[in-house]
Amino acid sequence: MNIDLKNWLIQILVIEDDDSTKELIVEALSKSFPLANVHGFKNFVQESFEEIIKENKYDIITIDGYLGDWTEHPIFYKNGKNLIPFIKENSPKTIIIAMSSGDDLNKEMMEVGASMTIKKTDFLKNGFIKKLFNSDLTLREVD
């Protein structure tokens, strides 16, 4: 099924520890989905991450595989795959997109519940948008 999200009001969360990459992702998603609310976060403390996931209904969350700056987070320490089970438990209808530079880490993220993966290099070539539009993923129904 092809998904046309361009005219949908969707909530997107970008979790990325590199500022320049985060800004590129947020900018590309904002241009591709003009009605979307796209939020980029570099780092969280445990309480704020848990609060954000529990209190907001994100349709899509992109997660960097290696979160090198998350050195003070006791549970999610440095690895994006550690975030996925918490997101799945608290927001099971959210599409989780693992975004890493390596196939191994993307594979690990799929094994713990990511909806799809994409290499960062592919995203920078606009592969992300094409892959999302040609996916079989569906968004949650509006409450």
Cα-only R_g, the chain: 14
Question: What superfamily does domain 11-132 belong to in CATH?
Answer: Response regulator (3.40.50.2300)
**Which pair of structure tokens corresponds to residue 132?**
């999302």
Taking the model in full, what pTM does it have?
Answer: 0.80
**Which pair of structure tokens corresponds to residue 32?**
């591709």
Full pLDDT tens readout for the chain, 143 residues: 455 555 568 899 998 888 888 888 898 888 878 888 999 877 665 557 788 888 888 999 999 888 776 555 666 666 788 889 989 999 999 999 988 877 788 888 999 999 988 887 777 666 556 556 555 555 544 33
Give the CA distances from residue 71 to residues 67, 68, 77, 115, in Å, rounded to whole numbers and listed in that order.
8, 7, 6, 26
Contact present, 81 and 99 (Cβ < 8 Å): no
Residue 62: per-residue pLDDT: 92
Residue 1: per-residue pLDDT: 45
Residue 127: per-residue pLDDT: 54
Phi, psi torsion values for 135, nearest 5 degrees: -90, 170
Which residues are paired to 65 by β-bridges?
Answer: none
Contact present, 43 and 15 (Cβ < 8 Å): no
